[in-house]
A and B are shown apart, each in its own frame.
Chain A
């Protein structure tokens, strides 16, 4: 009974320590870019009937951490990509400075639009934990 209590106490302490570190460690990012790329051959794949989805119709960004949308067209033909027309080999780098929801007309999506939600910089411990968990889950998908 005593051993079980000790184990549970230690587990709770470890969990609390993890939450404390995750919640209080400042978030810095090696890059603020959120990158989406059109691979070479995408146009051919689409023409042959493949349904190629590269850019989601909802994109989440975070101010100060990952707040630059980068689009790159590696295909051999011009492509409507997000809000703009991109030439082969061209990239487009769009920074965001305000937390808000941005809607762009985007003919590449069935809805005809693309939404970019820019969230505030995670300032509180809880916001940092939430951001890190969301990022981790996104990376694992």
Chain B
């Protein structure tokens, strides 16, 4: 076989590999309908019983019939939590009357500082409808485990801070965990997904 023939064959092989490996010419995949990551099949949101920031007991079952945004954090958080809670508040404002069927639930990872009064004051600064939950370290650890949420305490000088999961669960009216919204999505993305879940 001549150099020329071998060269041409090599070129054709490269061409075939470099275009066929990407499935050139085929149809695009179907985009997911939600902006958030979707679970299939959805599982029932694990039940819990914590102290509610607005008094009484906080249970996920309290909100059956509503779409719940469930997030974990702590009131001294300076990075993730204020942004996330502000995003929720903006999304609810954008939704108008439909926001009445959306409940934000925020569970602390910092029982040492976050009592119900502190949670109520903190959350009220974003939106008076937001509800917080706190409890003992053991209770909160059990809730985090059941939801696959991580929280690690770090010393910071005389104080301490937490590194915690920053995503938000979207729980439908039937109490199923339908989706997980990573940190950083816009209020519009939440409005988009909440509108879909509210219509069901």
Contacts and interface: CB of A to CB of B under 8 A. Distances in A.
Interface of A: 6-7, 10-11, 14-15, 17-18, 21-22, 25-33, 64-65, 68-69, 78, 80, 83-87, 89-95, 97, 102, 104-105, 107, 112, 129, 131-133, 135-136, 139
Interface residues of B, number: 43
B148 A136 contact: no
B23 A28 contact: yes
Contact of A10 (B4, B21, B26, B29): B4
Interface string B5-30: 00110110011011101111111110
A112 B152 CA distance: 10
Nearest to B147: A85
Given A21-B15, A31-B29, 8 more contacts: A7-B7, A10-B4, A11-B4, A14-B8, A87-B43, A90-B43, A94-B38, A105-B164
A90 B8 contact: no
B150 interface: yes
Contacts, number: 129
Say what secondary structure dominates the interface of chain A: mixed
Nearest to B146: A85
A64 B4 CA distance: 38
B163 interface: yes
Contact of B26 (A18, A30, A105, A129): A30
B197 to A, nearest CB: 16
B182 A102 contact: yes
Contact of B24 (A25, A84, A92): A25
A84 B167 contact: yes
A132 B24 CA distance: 10
A25 B167 contact: no
Those 5 A-B pairs whose CB atoms lie nearest each other, nearest first: A85-B148, A94-B37, A32-B29, A14-B11, A30-B23
11 contacts: A7-B2, A7-B3, A7-B4, A7-B7, A11-B3, A14-B10, A14-B11, A28-B23, A83-B165, A85-B147, A91-B40
Contacts of A15: 11
A95 B31 contact: yes
Nearest to B30: A32
Contacts of A92: 37-40, 180
Nearest to B181: A94
A15 to B, nearest CB: 6
B179 to A, nearest CB: 9
Nearest to A106: B150
Contacts of B11: 11, 14-15, 17-18
Contacts of B90: none
Given A10-B8, A91-B40, A95-B35, A104 B182 contact: yes
A29 B4 contact: no
